[in-house]
Amino acid sequence: MSMGSAGTGGGEEQEPENPLGLYEGGRNAHNQRHGTGRALLPSGDYYEGCYNRNLRHGKGLYVFANRNGARYEGEYRFGLRSGQGVFYYPDGTKYEGEWKKNLRHGFGTYYYLNGDTYTGAWFKSKRQGIGTYLYSELGVKVTCAWSKDEIAGGGKIEYPMGGVAFHGSFDKHRPVGRGVFAFPRLSCMQLGVYERKPIEHPPEEEPIDMGSQNLSEADYDKPIPVVPPSEWWARDVVEYDGSLMPPPPEEEANPSWAEENHGEEIERLSTLSIQHQPERVLSEPEEG
């Protein structure tokens, strides 16, 4: 079958549109899409890559129609984005890393429009675990424990001048409590306490340009919001002493994500031909 569409002469009866779209590629003995192939779905979305009994399985490329160049290049498992892959979002942001069941899950890097990046652990599309956020404009790196997309726990802030770094605890993206500023070139440390200032007016976030209809912000990740800084109260300046350094950030154990019986699931889904339908790229599944 050709991927193109043939023209029809005037007055000729046209065949009804194939509800499954056009497909060209391998099939198994049961006439299921199997092996490598390419498909043009009725929505205009395009997929080229590996199939296993009607399901996208293995490496593939999925291009979303009318989504400002949105596409996914990477691995599928039993019809879902799982494994290593790169997702180019309609707003111009990009995620490169591990996936599980269509969610950012594992280790990966998100590239934001303002040049910021986050590299680290993800759990069900949220920053969760140990990760590093780079403020591109300032050249400042924050490596901390994250919980549900927020900095919460131990960590450090690395500044671009002279290797200066702050080590301490964080809550809701801000340092709080006792901490240490290390000055490697001066071989000294400054001990003190961060006191949090109240946030009178929560920062307003600019709306995301969806780029097309029926899009949801749920699929995009957003840069860390700018919040009022905590106030540093210096106490002592001492020679550098590693024993005075706070402990490194600890990663909290994530709740288990039970593995499904994929053998039974593949048999059930293969009879439904669900992979002939377009992906719901911009409405990720509910957590659970």
DSSP 95-149: EEEEEETTEEEEEEEEE-TTS-EEEEEEETTEEEEEEEEEETTTTEEEEEEEETT
pLDDT in tens, 61-108: 999 998 888 999 999 999 999 999 999 999 999 999 999 999 999 999
CA nearest 97: which of 120, 77, 114, 116? Answer: 120
CA nearest 225: which of 163, 147, 133? Answer: 133
Which of 5-19, 37-51, 94-108 has the weakest average pLDDT? Answer: 5-19
pLDDT in tens, 172-196: 778 888 889 999 888 998 888 888 7
User: Is the pLDDT at 6 greater than 50, yes or no?
Assistant: no
Cα 275 vs. chain centroid, distance in angstroms?
A: 23
CA-derived radius of gyration, the chain: 25
Domain ranges for the chain: 20-90, 117-198+220-253
Supply the DSSP symbol for 76: E
Q: What tokens were used for 237?
A: 């300046």
CATH topology of domain 117-198+220-253: 2.20.110
- pLDDT > 70 in the chain, percent: 70
Residue 7: the pLDDT is 37
pLDDT in tens, 14-34: 344 567 789 999 999 999 999
User: Is the pLDDT at 243 greater than 50, yes or no?
Assistant: yes
What sign results for the dihedral spanned by CA atoms 171, 172, 176, 177?
negative
pLDDT in tens, 104-163: 999 999 999 999 999 999 999 999 999 999 999 999 999 999 988 888 888 999 999 888
